[in-house]
């Protein structure tokens, strides 16, 4: 049976009138995918592609003449990339808490001295920066090569003509990020990978391969390839051999194509057929590899391997989203690009771990808010089976902050969004392009429509196999003016009450997705009684009863109920999966405004929005989403059970579950069994356009329990049988430090990580939920401390340190491997507590 068929690079919309099947739009798509290699390899590789990360010099500040090859940088700091200079701090009230309270702006210089290998002296030489924050200026041997303002975009320079083939060469990079240039922590420095390529005069162009799968059925898949080939000089006879490799490296399809000149670019294209194709799916993300070998007069001049995949997408107004013909609800999260205590550094393990934690919550999609992501994130999503909405911009021409991307938009927007599409269009995980988020042009019908149409056109000129979208928050303005109709899918930010007839009046044929939802805030392990809706709390923390949010925000239950009522909505992207640096809402300031510094509630300096805190520890809200998004029986109970001397005699106990029933036991005695969906819990609710002051939610079960030290235990039942349970005991006084590594064996590559959870426990091994003991770390052997953290959004304690205070019983030690194998010995000490030690193996 045929799943879906699509003409090569076509984007088919089938409009069915209401008289046929209700107003339906079907967007049928079949696009790229690929097979994950052992060790999580990059999605595009070449024999000419080499890491350029090692052996750089760095200086923070003005350095007149530093672009000159003869400049003396001997006193500069030596380091390897990627590097984020700002995460080292210090936190200071003179910096903007809205951007993390860290020194990300100013001037920073990077220099590297290098030589061209003898075998590459007759080659073309290219340097690729995957991301540099921001306004990068690049020189080679004193010659100005180019400038790229947007800190999230990849760029490449041909530096051949400025090199010394014999002797040393110097590349210099100057970055000048400005204050008030970002609404969150952007990081600083060359924070993503850098590469150097040695190419023949005939070679595959940078981002020059495009793989699609236009026709798919159960027995066959057509693979269509387009290749842009750069050819310097004349008298070339260029052909391309294409081979499709399955997961074990076996060739399953091949063909040869002759390249032709096309308006200055040499292009090759071909189609192949794969028999019995394996589809890229969420639970089995099978990936293939396209091997492109370019010949000139019969001689091999370039070989490039590009991972891709085989899958179909369909978006309908009435029926929702279908992946490979199967209805799939988007269970998505918005993610900023920082990696918590590591800052903006695009570390592969940090990104992989973040995604693993999200999958445990039940996440099947990520929105890259609000910028193009790292290649690494997309590679991991390809391998792990996570769909991605890649977003281009947070701002167009109208500023949200005084020095934002709006300053560069007119000159750079077309090139930046096109480069985003060119780089990412072979990833099977990528299934939507977003042209913007909460753009202030929504209030200007003429300008908003013009720019939206323009950006949508730029995307479609390069990829018609995926739909476009945009995150709209000014309901109903962009719908009434027609701006929302400029994209294929309308993204609705925080408007669950408008799903259905309200928005369909303006967009009768356009699918809708909850592109940003909930914005609930909380602090891990913090519980304020009584349960009430407040704006801020004197503790600078937010209760983890999952009810607090800014005026536009609402508890997750509201979105769950709206989506249940409107199954035609594609799903949601909750704000946010992880806490992130900057934007410490509800503390500090007002969102989407240019009102300066958010330091009134210092030291609140990072997000409270996450279902997971900045160190990767799940909050209670993690389990509320897990109860809706997963099928493996689970049950979660809150709060902690250390309420002695608190002044509270009765404690509200909540359970989150995907089971049919939950029974609560207090000190071994049943407090009653309750049924999910039938026994509802009242929670306070207040947000824009919501008429009530509460909700009777069917997504939480609750009991009011007289406090008595001991334990609370919940048991989940399906068909009357116990299938899951969780217990929390009253902890005694802190007695010991305990270390738990997420991985006890890591790679000797100089960048692999082990995340070590540090617990403060009583003598019986119970977590002490109120403990704040300081833990001192010593690390010896084949590794070092990369960072420390604890998830506290309101502290100025440094991330780069050898100690950390626990926050509600937990803190995190992040260990980075050396480049040599060996063993890492970790010791954790805290005054008055027993010590713990842990050994890691580096191989």
Does 4 have pLDDT greater than 70?
Answer: no
553 with 480, same domain: the answer is: yes
Q: Which of 357, 349, 307 is nearest to 37 (CA)?
A: 307
How far, in Å, CA of 112 to CA of 173, rounded? 9
Q: Which of 31, 26, 30 is nearest to 4 (CA)?
A: 30
Return phi, psi of residue 121, to 5°: -70, -25
Please pick, among 44, 391, 516, 559, the residue that the annotation labels catalytic: 516
Distances (CA, A) of 209 to 213, 254, 387, 673: 14, 16, 21, 59
Quick check: is 438 in a domain?
yes
Q: Which of 628, 591, 607 is nearest to 523 (CA)?
A: 607
Q: Which of 610, 53, 621, 624 is nearest to 340 (CA)?
A: 610
Does 262 have pLDDT greater than 70?
Answer: no
For residue 436, give the CATH number of its domain: 3.20.20.80
pLDDT of residue 31: 36
Tell me the average pLDDT across 443-471.
96
Tell me the average pLDDT across 676-701.
95
What stretch of H or E contains 836?
strand 836-842
Q: How confident is the model at residue 20 (pLDDT cuts 50, 70, 90)?
A: very low
Quick check: is 22 in a domain?
no
289 with 320, same domain: the answer is: no
Does 738 have pLDDT greater than 50?
Answer: yes
How far, in Å, CA of 526 to CA of 772, rounded? 13
Domain count, the chain: 5
How far, in Å, CA of 301 to CA of 303, rounded? 7
What residues have CB less than 8 Å from 7, skipping those under 6 apart?
Answer: 214
pLDDT of residue 594: 61
Do residues 196 and 125 touch, judged by C-beta distance below 8 A? Answer: yes
Q: How confident is the model at residue 698 (pLDDT cuts 50, 70, 90)?
A: very high
Task: Tell me the percentage of the chain whose pLDDT exceeds 90.
Answer: 90
Do residues 342 and 87 touch, judged by C-beta distance below 8 A? Answer: yes
Both tokens of 448, joined, read 């908003």
Question: What's the whole-model pTM score?
Answer: 0.94
pLDDT of residue 16: 28
pLDDT of residue 589: 85
Q: At what angle do helices 445-460 and 409-424 cross, to 10 degrees?
A: 40
Instruction: Scan for tokens 């490799």, then name that residue.
Output: 245
213 with 111, same domain: the answer is: no
Residue pLDDT, tens place only, 79-98: 999 999 999 999 999 999 99
Q: How confident is the model at residue 261 (pLDDT cuts 50, 70, 90)?
A: confident
Does 104 have pLDDT greater than 90?
Answer: yes
224 with 341, same domain: the answer is: no
Q: How confident is the model at residue 298 (pLDDT cuts 50, 70, 90)?
A: very high
Least confident of 35-39, 122-126, 640-644, 684-688: 35-39
Instruction: For Cα atoms 794, 795, 799, give the angle at the middle one, nearest 5 degrees.
Output: 125
Residue pLDDT, tens place only, 175-232: 999 999 999 999 999 999 999 999 999 999 999 999 999 999 989 999 999 999 999 8
Pairing of β 169-175 and β 136-140: antiparallel
663 with 695, same domain: the answer is: yes
Do residues 763 and 736 touch, judged by C-beta distance below 8 A? Answer: yes
Return phi, psi of residue 711, to 5°: -160, 155
pLDDT of residue 360: 98
Please pick, among 67, 438, 583, 663, the residue that the annotation labels catalytic: 438
Quick check: is 756 in a domain?
yes
130 given a catalytic annotation: no
For residue 746, give the CATH number of its domain: 2.60.40.10
- C-alpha Rg value of the chain to the nearest Å: 27
Return phi, psi of residue 479, to 5°: -85, -40
Tell me the residue range of the domain where 785 lies: 736-842
| H helix count then E strand count, the chain | 9, 51
pLDDT of residue 232: 84
How far, in Å, CA of 357 to CA of 365, rounded? 13
What is the spatial order of strands in the sheet that 194-199 belongs to? 49-51, 194-199, 124-129, 155-158
How far, in Å, CA of 203 to CA of 494, rounded? 47
613 with 518, same domain: the answer is: yes
Do residues 165 and 116 touch, judged by C-beta distance below 8 A? Answer: yes
Do residues 348 and 40 touch, judged by C-beta distance below 8 A? Answer: yes
How far, in Å, CA of 13 to CA of 30, rounded? 13
438 given a catalytic annotation: yes
Quick check: is 473 in a domain?
yes
Quick check: is 181 in a domain?
yes
How far, in Å, CA of 48 to CA of 117, rounded? 12
What residues have CB less than 8 Å from 830, skipping those under 6 apart?
Answer: 734, 737, 760, 773, 774, 775, 776
Task: Tell me the percentage of the chain whose pLDDT exceeds 70.
Answer: 94
Both tokens of 113, joined, read 């001295």
624 with 578, same domain: the answer is: yes
Residue pLDDT, tens place only, 501-525: 999 999 999 999 999 999 999 999 9
Tell me the average pLDDT across 705-711.
97
How far, in Å, CA of 478 to CA of 458, rounded? 20
Distances (CA, A) of 796 to 536, 605, 612, 792, 793: 19, 8, 20, 9, 9
How far, in Å, CA of 770 to CA of 774, rounded? 13
Both tokens of 29, joined, read 């798509």
Of the three residues 150, 169, 192, the one that is the final residue of a domain is 192
DSSP bridge pairs for 293: 241, 303
Does 46 have pLDDT greater than 90?
Answer: no
Does 36 have pLDDT greater than 80?
Answer: no
386 with 495, same domain: the answer is: yes
Q: Look at the chain and count its residues.
A: 843
Quick check: is 378 in a domain?
yes
Both tokens of 429, joined, read 């995980």
Both tokens of 41, joined, read 């390899």
Tell me the average pLDDT across 314-333.
97
Residue pLDDT, tens place only, 603-649: 999 999 999 999 999 999 999 999 999 999 999 999 999 999 999 99
Of the three residues 687, 702, 729, the one that is the final residue of a domain is 729
pLDDT of residue 30: 41
Of 22 and 246, the structure prediction assigns the larger pLDDT to 246
Q: How confident is the model at residue 260 (pLDDT cuts 50, 70, 90)?
A: confident
Pairing of β 330-334 and β 571-575: parallel
Of the three residues 689, 708, 729, the one that is the final residue of a domain is 729
pLDDT of residue 147: 98
Q: How confident is the model at residue 61 (pLDDT cuts 50, 70, 90)?
A: very high
469 with 349, same domain: the answer is: yes
441 with 571, same domain: the answer is: yes
Quick check: is 26 in a domain?
no
Tell me the average pLDDT across 435-448.
94
pLDDT of residue 593: 67
pLDDT of residue 150: 98
pLDDT of residue 38: 37
Quick check: is 440 in a domain?
yes
Average pLDDT in the chain: 93
How far, in Å, CA of 563 to CA of 569, rounded? 7
Q: Which of 272, 265, 260, 270 is nearest to 228 (CA)?
A: 265
Distances (CA, A) of 598 to 94, 110, 537, 780: 11, 31, 16, 40
348 with 425, same domain: the answer is: yes
Residue pLDDT, tens place only, 221-240: 999 999 999 998 888 899 99
Residue pLDDT, tens place only, 150-159: 999 999 999 9
What stretch of H or E contains 608?
none
Does 2 have pLDDT greater than 50?
Answer: no
Do residues 78 and 410 touch, judged by C-beta distance below 8 A? Answer: no
Both tokens of 665, joined, read 């036991």
pLDDT of residue 688: 87
Instruction: For Cα atoms 60, 61, 64, give the angle at the middle one, nearest 5 degrees.
Output: 125
How far, in Å, CA of 63 to CA of 140, rounded? 16
Pairing of β 299-308 and β 669-675: unpaired
Longest Cα–Cα distance in the chain: 88
401 with 470, same domain: the answer is: yes
């Amino acid at each position: 049976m045929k799943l879906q068929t699509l003409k090569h690079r076509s984007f088919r919309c089938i409009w069915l009138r209401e008289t046929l099947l209700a107003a339906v739009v079907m967007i049928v798509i079949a696009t790229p995918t690929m097979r994950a290699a052992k060790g999580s390899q990059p999605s595009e590789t070449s024999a000419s592609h080499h890491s350029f990360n090692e052996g750089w010099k760095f200086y923070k500040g003005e350095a007149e003449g530093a672009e000159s090859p003869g400049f003396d940088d001997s006193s500069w700091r030596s380091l390897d990339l990627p590097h984020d200079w700002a995460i080292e701090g210090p936190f200071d009230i003179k910096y903007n808490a809205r951007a993390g309270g860290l020194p990300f702006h100013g001037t920073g210089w990077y220099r590297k001295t290098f030589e061209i290998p003898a075998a590459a002296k007759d080659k073309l030489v290219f340097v690729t920066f995957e991301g540099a924050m921001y306004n990068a200026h690049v020189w080679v041997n004193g010659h100005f090569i180019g400038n790229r303002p947007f800190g999230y975009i990849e760029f490449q320079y041909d530096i051949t003509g400025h090199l010394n083939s014999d002797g040393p060469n110097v590349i210099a990079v100057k970055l000048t990020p400005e204050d008030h240039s970002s609404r969150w922590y952007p990081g600083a420095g060359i924070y993503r990978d850098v590469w150097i390529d040695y190419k023949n005069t005939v070679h595959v162009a940078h981002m020059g391969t495009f793989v699609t799968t236009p026709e798919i059925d159960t027995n066959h898949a057509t693979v269509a390839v387009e290749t842009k080939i750069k050819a310097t000089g004349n008298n070339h006879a260029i052909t391309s051999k294409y081979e499709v490799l399955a997961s074990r490296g076996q060739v399953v399809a091949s063909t040869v194509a002759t390249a032709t000149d096309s308006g200055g670019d040499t292009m090759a294209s071909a189609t192949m057929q794969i028999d019995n194709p394996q589809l890229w799916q969420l639970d089995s993300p099978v990936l293939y590899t396209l091997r492109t070998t370019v010949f000139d007069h019969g001689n091999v001049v370039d070989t490039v391997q590009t991972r891709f995949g085989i899958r179909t997408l369909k978006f309908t107004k009435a029926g929702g989203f279908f992946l490979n013909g199967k209805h799939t609800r988007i269970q998505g999260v918005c993610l900023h690009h920082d990696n918590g205590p590591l800052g903006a550094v695009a570390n592969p393990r940090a990104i992989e771990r973040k995604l693993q934690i999200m999958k445990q919550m039940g996440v099947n999609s990520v929105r890259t808010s609000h910028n193009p992501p790292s290649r690494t994130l997309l590679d991991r999503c390809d391998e792990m089976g996570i769909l991605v909405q890649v977003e281009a911009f947070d701002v167009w021409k109208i500023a949200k902050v005084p020095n934002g991307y709006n300053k560069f938009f007119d000159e750079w927007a077309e090139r930046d969004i096109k480069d985003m599409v060119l780089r990412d269009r072979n990833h099977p995980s990528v299934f939507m392009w977003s042209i913007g988020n909460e753009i202030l042009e929504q209030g200007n019908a003429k300008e908003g429509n013009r720019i939206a149409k323009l950006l949508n056109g730029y995307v479609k000129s390069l990829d018609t196999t995926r739909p476009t979208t945009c995150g709209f928050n000014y309901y109903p303005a962009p719908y009434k003016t027609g701006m929302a109709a400029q994209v294929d899918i309308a993204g609705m930010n925080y408007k669950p009450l408008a799903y259905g007839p309200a928005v369909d009046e303006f967009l009768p044929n356009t699918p809708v997705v909850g592109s940003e939802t909930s914005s609930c805030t909380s602090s891990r392990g913090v519980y304020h009684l009584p349960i009430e809706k407040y704006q801020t709390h004197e503790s600078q923390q937010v209760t983890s009863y999952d009810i607090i949010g800014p005026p536009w925000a609402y508890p997750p239950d509201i979105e769950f109920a709206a989506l249940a009522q409107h199954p035609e909505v594609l799903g949601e992207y909750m704000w946010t999966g992880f806490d992130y640096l900057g934007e410490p809402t509800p503390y500090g300031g007002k969102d989407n405004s240019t009102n300066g510094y958010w330091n009134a509630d210092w030291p609140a300096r990072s997000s409270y929005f996450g279902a997971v805190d900045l160190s990767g520890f799940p909050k209670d809200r993690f389990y509320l989403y897990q109860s809706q998004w997963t099928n493996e029986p689970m049950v979660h109970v809150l709060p902690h059970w250390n309420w002695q001397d608190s002044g509270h005699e009765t404690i509200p106990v909540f359970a989150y579950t995907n089971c049919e029933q939950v029974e609560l036991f207090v000190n071994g005695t049943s407090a009653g069994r309750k049924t999910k969906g039938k026994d509802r819990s009242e929670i306070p609710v207040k947000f824009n356009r919501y008429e009530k002051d509460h909700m009777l939610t069917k997504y939480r079960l609750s009991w009011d329990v007289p406090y008595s030290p001991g334990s609370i235990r919940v048991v989940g039942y399906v068909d009357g049988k116990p299938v899951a349970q969780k217990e929390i005991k009253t902890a005694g006084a802190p007695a010991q430090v305990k270390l738990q590594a997420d991985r006890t064996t890591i790679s000797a590559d100089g960048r692999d990580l082990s995340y070590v959870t540090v617990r403060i426990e009583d003598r019986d091994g119970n977590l002490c939920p109120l403990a704040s003991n300081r833990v001192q770390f010593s690390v010896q052997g084949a590794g070092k401390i990369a960072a420390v953290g604890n998830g506290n959004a309101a502290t100025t304690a440094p991330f780069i340190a050898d100690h950390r205070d626990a926050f509600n019983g937990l803190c995190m030690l992040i260990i980075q491997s050396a480049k040599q194998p060996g063993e890492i010995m970790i010791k954790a000490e805290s005054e008055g507590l027993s010590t713990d030690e842990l050994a890691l193996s580096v191989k």
